[in-house]
Amino acid sequence: RLRSSLMRILQLCNKMPYPAMDGYALAVMNLAKAFSTAGNTVGLLCMNTTRHYVDEKRIPAALNEKLKLQAVKVDNRISAGDAFVKLLQNRSYNVSRFISKDFDLALQKALKDLDPGIVQLEGLYLTPYIDTIRKYSKAKIALRAHNVEHLIWYRNSEQEKNFAKKVYLKLLARQLLKYEKNMLGQVDLLVPVSPIDAGVFNDLGNKKPVHVCPVSYDDLGKDEPITCEPDSAFFIGSLDWIPNAEGLQWFLANVWDKVHREFPRLKFYIAGRNIPSSIKSDEKKNIFVIGEVENGRNWMQGKRIMVVPLFAGSGMRVKIVEGLSQGKVIISTGIGAEGIPVEHKKEVLIADSAEEFIEAFRFCREEEKMQEMEKQAKRFAEQHYSATATARGLLDFYQKHT
């Protein structure tokens, strides 16, 4: 049971957390629901951006009532002209795309109506609103850092083959590094998702109180009983996020053909938002592109082997936590599993090259080993990543510092 001292918490989001299909949405929604279930008053003020637009009619009324979810339309389309101007000004274009007068006005009203004790910024791109929070509220400001943002762009640049694009990505990474270091001094509390990220932030000069709050799976609801297809592997993730798209394309180009030749019955399913036209179904190769699914957790239940071919990024992969909680066999790169203290061949299979991925699939031929790994994965998730336990730890931290 969470502590009896209840709080008012306003979570600010730079994209809609519903439907909870991608990592960001799951991380926000699972924690918000756990806060609310524990009796706290929770408000969600969310940008409904052009890049990740959600029809608000799809949002269940009960969710709006329980979490006081409010959406504000924000145009964050990428503009080459704006990007060039910000480059000349040496200002982060990544951050500037989320600055909105309408969102600022909605924030002022939310601060007045809710009178929160904590304003939780769900990521670096909400930090432009710190001045508004300070002006209209006495709340403590917590930065829930889902990633070390500059590190994502630096790793993207390392993977980039095109020289001009590589240089540009490195410039973006440098701008974000400068901005990220500055913002560490502007918030009151820092909430990274892994000890690794906490160490990076402390190395960058963080002096504020830190609480590592890992992403969690929803242990408050009940999974629908769904039969798992035995000879199935899958990828799920937003494919407008560069590391996801590049990792999946690498897997299809370098791994799947060889796997398909060895295991012709194995099917590979691809689900997610904004799948590029270059990634297509190919029944001859047992590749099936599903697209966006309404309930990612239910969809995952019907598949057996999760593939996470990620070579850039930071933070923690929520989809791996979700997969562990369902007892999936997970084949991931080291970067994909970063921040999650799993062991190779115990809770997951780690593969960083095409040959290692193929070896991992060969491991999956042994049913007894597969079943043992599935049990270990589920046990590990229950011990470390339930939303109830995660919320309890974070609320204790907030109460200590307010």
For 315-331, the pLDDT digits (tens) are 668 889 989 999 999 99
The predicted-structure confidence for 373-401, as pLDDT tens digits, reads as follows: 999 999 999 888 888 989 999 999 999 99
The predicted-structure confidence for 72-130, as pLDDT tens digits, reads as follows: 999 988 777 776 667 666 677 778 889 999 999 999 999 999 999 999 999 999 999 99
More confident residue, 297 or 351: 351
pTM: 0.76
Q: Which of 393, 313, 379, 369 is nearest to 342 (CA)?
A: 379
The predicted-structure confidence for 3-50, as pLDDT tens digits, reads as follows: 447 999 999 999 998 877 777 888 899 899 999 999 999 999 999 999
Quote the pLDDT of residue 4: 45
Q: What SS3 state is found at 248?
A: helix
How far CA 334 is from CA of 92, 96, 217, 291, 343, in Å, comes to 29, 32, 21, 26, 10
In the numeric block, the tokens 């809710």 are attached to: 114
Nearby residues of 295 by Cβ (< 8 Å), 6 or more positions away: 19, 21
Q: Average pLDDT over the chain, rounded to whole?
A: 90
Nearby residues of 354 by Cβ (< 8 Å), 6 or more positions away: 254, 255, 258
